Amino acid sequence: KQEVTQIPAALSVPEGENLVLNCSFTDSAIYNLQWFRQDPGKGLTSLLLIQSSQREQTSGRLNASLDKSSGRSTLYIAASQPGDSATYLCAFSGNFNKFYFGSGTKLNVKP
């Protein structure tokens, strides 16, 4: 059974801090790994996608890394802002078009 674990489950930081969210998965035969943002009561927005052959991807203040051998991915957020407050979920894709999700890290950035 594929499992995705995200630590911590919740995180509260003051504005301006750099922070790291963690994601671990049990299946090293992944096709890609994605990080999503979910605002309360809303759908998911894709932030970054890392192909299995890649090590990291960057978009603005976000940087995601992937280490298949250890089954880990991290999402680094630089200079956090109150608008970054949301739940961040990671998901990896395996065979047959299936995507497996973690339960997310709920981030609160305090002004």
Catalog residues that contact other proteins under the rule CB under 8 A. Answer: 4, 31-32, 34, 36, 41-46, 49, 51-52, 89, 91, 93-104, 106
Q: Alpha-carbon distance 54 to 69, whole Å? A: 12
Residue 10 C-beta: closest distance to other proteins, Å = 9
Q: Alpha-carbon distance 59 to 50, whole Å? A: 12
Residue 34 tokens, joined: 């994605």
Residue 18 C-beta: closest distance to other proteins, Å = 25
Q: For residue 70, how many other CB atoms are within 10 A of its CB? A: 10
Nearer to other proteins, 74 or 93 (CB): 93
Q: Alpha-carbon distance 48 to 111, whole Å? A: 25
Residue 15 C-beta: closest distance to other proteins, Å = 24
Nearer to other proteins, 8 or 16 (CB): 8
